[in-house]
Amino acid sequence: MSKPTVVPCPQCKAEVVWNEDSPFRPFCSKQCQMIDFGEWADEENTIPGAPDMSDSDGWSEDNY
């Protein structure tokens, strides 16, 4: 029997056993996985200057 591979969680540095018992590897838990996912998702969703047409009726004509 070989020893299981253990990797550090990228988020909290907890030891994560690299096998089927760790579905969120290399993260230790779903929480840590979501933290990492949220960080890059926030960057992806940042749209500078996104148009907001909801309340522009009064003054928008001059801008176009």
Q: Which residues bind Zn ion (CB under 5 A)?
A: 9, 11-12, 14, 28, 32
CB 21 within 8 A of CB 29: no
Q: Calculate ∠ Cα 51-53-54, nearest 5°.
A: 130
Q: Is 9 annotated as a binding residue?
A: yes
Q: Residue 14 or residue 41: which is nearer to Zn ion going by CB?
A: 14
**Whole-number Å distance between alpha carbons of 10 and 40:** 14
Q: Residue 11 or residue 22: which is nearer to Zn ion going by CB?
A: 11
Q: Is 28 annotated as a binding residue?
A: yes
Q: Residue 8 or residue 60: which is nearer to Zn ion going by CB?
A: 8
CB 16 within 8 A of CB 26: yes
Going by the annotation, the residues of the binding site for Zn(2+) are 9, 12, 28, 32
